[in-house]
Amino acid sequence: MDFELTKEQKDIKQAAREFAEGEFDKDLAIKHDKEHSFPRSVWKKACELGFVGIHFPEEFGGQGLGVFENALVVEEFCRKDSGLGTALALSDFASEIIMRHGTKEHKSRVLRAVASGGMISAGCFTEPNHGSDITCMDTSAAKENGKWLINGTKTFITNGTIADVYIVLSQTDPNAKPTYRGQSLILVEKGAPGLDANDVGDKMGIRMTSTAEVSFSGVSAPLEALIGEEGKGFYHVLEFFDESRVEIAATAVGIAQGAFDRALAYAKERQQFGQRLADFQATQHKIADMATWIEAARLLTYQAAWNFDQGRIDPKLTSMAKFYAGRTAVLVTDEAVQILGGYGYMLENEVERYYRDAKITEIYEGTKEIQKNTIAGILIKKK
Ligand SMILES: Cc1cc2nc3c(=O)[nH]c(=O)nc-3n(C[C@H](O)[C@H](O)[C@H](O)COP(=O)(O)OP(=O)(O)OC[C@H]3O[C@@H](n4cnc5c(N)ncnc54)[C@H](O)[C@@H]3O)c2cc1C
């Protein structure tokens, strides 16, 4: 067993760090956070340098690297800035479904554009009545006159108002039993008549990403817009979660590390009662806890990413990484705000934004309770 990153992986991590340090400006981040706007200029530059879609095959505009390398980039981005990092990490959201199951045409058109900064993607699974439970969809797609006709509403869709392509989980066989065997994924393009997207409203964190309700009223798509196999959409999404949950875990590790860095630096500077905060044992224990949780979360995330790239898909491990890294991000950012005291509560000092941005990692891509259900379910079934 070798815990060392390869030379190439170290270089990627370093390059991602240097890019973030050079381009992620604090005032810019605060502006986008306040305005709820997507950081388009930084995203474009990240795409130009090959950070977005680093895990896509080279023939489709990527760098031909793995989930592991993508996790390293995302971690470094979120470490430097929780909001900018998350927005960039999610700009290619669900494109992996196209990478794994799309036709050659889908891949050449969409992946190449997503990686080069020409397109933003959105994955539409959640519905108002189907959140954690996506085994049945109210959104339907029926074949009519040689086309798919899509009707329904998706909610909480990341990139919803800014996406160029939407990957939509729909019920294509309403009579399937169980219902999830009648679901399929359809690629819908921005501007399709009947497609409407509106932000769901103000939100706690990750405010540089759009979160929208996306409705489909008689939206038509060619039959070739089917991604993967008809009736296998649910399974394709579950497979995607094995990959995407690693990415979310990496965002959580980065957010936790970024908050920790700031708290540690502050504890070494700030004096009270004639000594540094870092000289109080209460602070030292916080620092030890935070560093230990982060290291454990990072190891789990790297292991899940590495296993995925080896083709050893392990949903239990992926769920453990996502659950533990999310918990770590929430706990560490809370302690970071605490160490900065009143200053930690102020926008200017960044950790309050890390604190707000951390919480979503316990909710999207399956809540922490759903991750625990997966972990326990696999452990209990095992003979
Ligand atoms: C900012 C943001 C971005 C998002 N982006 C996307 C996106 O891009 N695409 C997309 O499709 N969705 C997206 N989502 C939706 C997200 O994945 C769902 O919110 C999440 O899966 C939970 O669904 P729900 O909100 O309907 O909660 P519910 O499913 O109603 O759950 C409510 C609570 O009950 C618990 N619960 C539910 N079922 C169980 C169970 N079986 N056992 C134990 N506890 C349970 C949950 O853990 C949770 O605590 C996003 C959400 C947010 C807030």
- Unique residue bearing structure tokens 């995407």: 244
- pLDDT (0 to 100) of residue 301: 98
Closest by CA to 332, choosing from 361, 373, 303, is 361
- pLDDT (0 to 100) of residue 2: 86
How close is the Cα of 233 to the center of ligand 1, in Å? 19
State how far the Cα of 366 lies from the Cα of 242, in Å rounded to an integer: 11
DSSP result, 16-29 = HHHHHHHH--HHHH
State how far the Cα of 181 lies from the Cα of 225, in Å rounded to an integer: 19
Q: Are strands 165-171 and 121-124 parallel, antiparallel or unpaired?
A: parallel
Closest by CA to 96, choosing from 71, 69, 67, 118, is 67
DSSP result, 309-366 = HTT---HHHHHHHHHHHHHHHHHHHHHHHHHHHHHHTSGGGSHHHHHHHHGGGGTTTS
Q: pLDDT tens for residues 63-108?
A: 999 999 999 999 999 999 999 999 999 999 999 999 999 999 999 9
Beta bridge partners of 148: 143, 221
State how far the Cα of 321 lies from the Cα of 191, in Å rounded to an integer: 37
Indicate the residue type of 326.
G
Torsion of CA 308, 314, 315, 317, to 10 degrees: -90
For residue 357, how many C-alpha atoms fall within 13 Å in the half-sphere facing its CB?
33
Q: Whose CA is nearest to atom 4 of ligand 1?
A: 156
Q: Whose CA is nearest to atom 41 of ligand 1?
A: 370
Is the torsion defined by CA of 228, 229, 230, 235 positive or negative?
negative
- pLDDT (0 to 100) of residue 161: 98
Mutating to test ligand 1, I would choose from 134, 156, 362 the residue with most ligand atoms within 8 A of its C-beta, which is 156
Rounded mean pLDDT of 285-306? Answer: 98
Rounded mean pLDDT of 23-29? Answer: 97
Rounded mean pLDDT of 113-128? Answer: 98
Mutating to test ligand 1, I would choose from 82, 95, 125, 126 the residue with most ligand atoms within 8 A of its C-beta, which is 126
Q: pLDDT tens for residues 311-352?
A: 999 999 999 999 999 999 999 999 999 999 999 999 999 999
Structure tokens at 77: 């981005």
16 compared with 382, residue with greater pLDDT? 16
Indicate the residue type of 255.
I
- pLDDT (0 to 100) of residue 124: 98
For the chain, what is the mean pLDDT?
97
Torsion of CA 361, 366, 368, 370, to 10 degrees: 180
Check pLDDT > 90 for residue 382.
Answer: no
Q: Whose CA is nearest to atom 50 of ligand 1?
A: 156
- Unique residue bearing structure tokens 């891949």: 107
Structure tokens at 362: 């316990």
- Percentage of residues in the chain having pLDDT higher than 70: 100
Check pLDDT > 80 for residue 145.
Answer: yes
- pLDDT (0 to 100) of residue 1: 84
DSSP result, 88-123 = HHGGGTTHHHHHHH--HHHIIIIIHHHHHTS--EEE
Specify the 3-state DSSP secondary structure of 214.
Answer: strand
Q: Whose CA is nearest to atom 17 of ligand 1?
A: 364
Mutating to test ligand 1, I would choose from 363, 371, 375 the residue with most ligand atoms within 8 A of its C-beta, which is 363
Q: Is 44 exposed, middle or buried (CB count within 10 Å of its CB: 0-12, 13-18, 19+)?
A: middle
**Backbone phi, psi, residue 142, to 5°:** -120, 145
Report residues whose beta carbon is within 6 angstroms of any ligand 1 atom. Answer: 93, 123-126, 131-132, 156-158, 203, 206, 211, 360, 363-364, 366-367, 369-370, 373
> With contact defined as beta carbons under 8 Å apart, do 283 and 277 qualify?
yes
Closest by CA to 95, choosing from 85, 75, 109, is 109
- Percentage of residues in the chain having pLDDT higher than 90: 99
Rounded mean pLDDT of 250-256? Answer: 99
Catalytic (active site) residue 365: yes
